Structure 1
């Protein structure tokens, strides 16, 4: 359905995407440290006193596994390093599961992290990375046994190290990334239950709760699904659970719904028609609430319940997800408005986010589009930015690793 003039059909544009993706992969390679991967500073070097981070390690493992499937040198060994780290120093050898840092540091076990471990393992399995099958088996066992709530059709949020003390919280963010991971796991294992679980999450969080809020996405609930409107009011710049709502998540959900629709159609021949309607509504509300609300371009971080800006800073991932959603809607509908948004957002990323001095993408900009570090510090990690360069090159389904294995080989 794409018009001939679409950037998605343009060979020079597709080569540009490939080049930007390869530059990001090269920039992030110094993030490898003995126990996994760590955050990079603005200069592209590991941040001082930064240790292995399990979320970053899982994300990097996923990205480098998919990149290895594209035949890019240096990526397969990095994916193997990530798998070994997740099976070794980052895993809890006593109770199973993963902490946010090395196992000896302890802490709580978060659904957000475990979704990325499952995603990483599934991508590594596709590329036959050593240890990937074991990692996927352990990840799915933990994910299924401790986090999935069959009664609710949702993933629980967090536990103490021994799986006691379940948190009195239900969060949209962790479940959003679980939708992505569920689709990838379904593709890799052939087990359709994971795709069904993705649909159940979407039905609750988006088709019921967000649709009832005009396609804004409230994120914070207690275990009885009572909305927590004051959650983190004193921490509006929290990096994972900020006060209010996050337009970047509205648009991120939008493209995940289209990927889920495509996956259901590809595997079973049918999908709920509301997936497209909800994706359109989410993108419309997200861009209305978040884009250029203070006169300067860019998608801001958070808004309040009245959709008025709370944190004006522009994280890199919000721009990447807005662009990805525009690309997905353009592929799905062919409508010119999404071509406009696709070009507009890439223009913004190119002129403001890509750091041509020190490499990589800037992590965050302020309301004047100057570099900032209020919410996030250091350079952006690969996950959102690199996937933004790959998504326009691939169909909506199957998931990244499976699609690359099918199309590039």
Structure 2
């Protein structure tokens, strides 16, 4: 892929300019794409076990399907064989068996006759990924993608977006009743990414403004006041729920306490939003860079090697002391992505050191050269574990980590790939 870094601040010695390093990233990304291809099932994509085979009783998962559709659509834009048909399969699945044809929207699994999985609800987290997947598929001209994007944005805007609050609501029952008394940072974080992608694809700047409003509330107000730690759990009146899921410290989406991996993930999203705003209108709030720097520093201080072993741990308490020491793969991927984004934006040597340190860790501990893919999770001693997550991870975090160093901060993935030389 052609050099896409406009910054003149990057030193010639940076890994980001190194041709061998960029080839290594390309190779690792293609290994991940090939490893994940067996996750295709009739109704979408399903989870893989440690050996890269479908797990016993595996069935289509809507979140996984949306994320795989997004990744394979972007990969198709790079001219990689086999990826466009998989993206098309994902679009067809999201339009078909995974969609609630009675009430609109999506459940986390197959939804026959408008009835989702037992106890299932319609989650903002999932709908953000459906919008992201649809926007990426539109860029590649995947059949049905325009219909999927139109449907996804109508649902997302009508039911989830709260204009008064400037955030997305969390969840509803099948018929859009029974709104959950909860406001979550995680779903809104992924909504920021999806909003930027949708703005690039549709040309509608309202989605970019919504991304900025989310960031203003959750980061520039709430997290900034907390020293750039990111509290995640609130009720609908924005009262912080400090005891939320205290009995579920290893919950995979809403764990007790705070998640340093999210601090650093927000960091690079702020830089991407700054770049998107500058590209679209020539100006962006100055505090986006300041907050991004603060989030990365707080995230690495709170989460990296806190128990004497390398790696970014899962959660900390309100005193920033470790709660769950395990190292999920996605935390490392997002920390690396944030270091790369800060390096591109500032040229500071500190971020080059972090970029190399995190990739060294991923290479030596996370990449599974025996069975393929990345290990989903390691324990505090960096041994394979399955306390929070089981099996092998889907492509979303790991594959994007291999691609983001090759791309500019804006536009978003699919659009950036579409306008660059292969």
TM-score bucket (shorter structure): over 0.9
> Structure 1 residue 62 and structure 2 residue 75: aligned?
no
Q: Residue 98 of structure 1: CA displacement?
A: 0.1
Q: What SS is found at the alignment partner of 1:81?
A: helix
Unaligned runs of 5+ residues in structure 1 are none
Instruction: For 1:364 and 1:184, locate their aligned partners in 2 and report how far apart those are by CA, in whole Å.
Output: 29
Q: Who is 2:3 aligned against?
A: none
- Tell me the equivalent position of 1:228: 241
Residue matched to 1:212: 225
Equivalences for 1:256-295 in 2 at 5 Å? Answer: 256-295=269-308
Stretch moving more, 318-327 or 103-112: 103-112
SS of 2:368 mapped into structure 1: coil
Aligned to 2:6: none
TM-score by length of 1: 1.00
Equivalent residues in 2 for 1:94-105, closer than 5 Å: 94-104=102-112
Cα deviation digits, residues 289-308 of structure 1 (max 9, x gap): 00000000000000000000
Aligned partners of 2:175 and 2:357: how far apart in 1? 48
Q: Deviations over 1:266-319 (max 9, x none)?
A: 000000000000000000000000000000000000000000000000000000
CA distance in 2, matches of 1:203, 1:265: 17
How many Å separate the matches in 1 of 2:190 and 2:282?
Answer: 24
Task: State the Cα deviation string for residues 238-286 of structure 1 (Å, max 9, x = none).
Answer: 0000000000000000000000000000000000000000000000000
1:130 aligned residue: 143
Q: 1:323 aligns with which of 329, 332, 336?
A: 336
Query: Per the alignment, in what secondary structure is the counterpart of residue 395 of structure 1?
Result: coil
Which residue does 2:19 correspond to in 1?
11
* Alignment pair present for 1:391 and 2:399: no
Tell me which of 91, 102, 108 is aligned to 1:83: 91
Matched, 1:118 2:126: no
Distance in 2, matches of 1:20 and 1:236, equals 32
What's the offset of the Cα at 1:333?
0.1
Matched residues, number: 409
How far apart, CA to CA, are the structure 2 residues paired with 1:178 and 1:31? 25
1:147 equivalent to 2:160? Answer: yes
C-alpha deviation, 1:50, in angstroms:
1.5
String of CA shifts for 1:333-388, please: whole Å, max 9, x gaps.
00000000000000000000000000000000000000000000000110000000
- Aligned-residue CA RMSD in angstroms? 0.5
User: Paired residue for 1:403?
Assistant: 416
Cα distance between partner residues in 2 of 1:2 and 1:307? 33
CA distance in 2, matches of 1:310, 1:408: 45
**Which whole-Å CA distance do the structure 2 matches of 1:263 and 1:59 have between them?**
22
Q: 1:369 aligns with which of 366, 370, 382?
A: 382
Tell me how far apart the structure 2 counterparts of residues 52 and 72 of structure 1 sit (CA, whole Å): 24
Alignment partner of 1:407: what SS?
coil
Q: Which residue in the other structure is 1:30 paired with?
A: 38
Supply the distance in 1 between the matched residues of 2:365 and 2:421 (Cα, whole angstroms).
Answer: 31
Q: For residues 51 and 305 of structure 1, what CA distance do their matches in structure 2 show? A: 37
Aligned to 2:419, the other structure's residue is in SS state: helix
Residue 197, structure 1, aligned to residue 210, structure 2: yes
- Selected match of 1:161 from 174, 188, 195: 174
- Provide TM-score, normalisation by structure 2: 0.97
Selected match of 2:185 from 155, 172, 181:
172
Q: Does 1:93 align with 2:93?
A: no
Instruction: Give me the whole-angstrom Cα distance separating, in 2, the residues matched to 1:174 and 1:22.
Output: 28
Partners of 1:400 and 1:191 lie apart in 2 by 17
> Which sections of structure 2, spanning at least 5 residues, go unmatched?
1-8
Q: Deviations over 1:133-164 (max 9, x none)?
A: 00000000000000000000000000000000
CA–CA separation in structure 1 for the residues paired with 2:258 and 2:379: 18
Poorly superposed stretches of 4+, deviation over 4 Å: none
After the TM superposition, which residues 305-384 of structure 1 pair with which residues of structure 2 at under 5 Å, given as runs?
305-384=318-397
Equivalent position SS for 2:323: strand
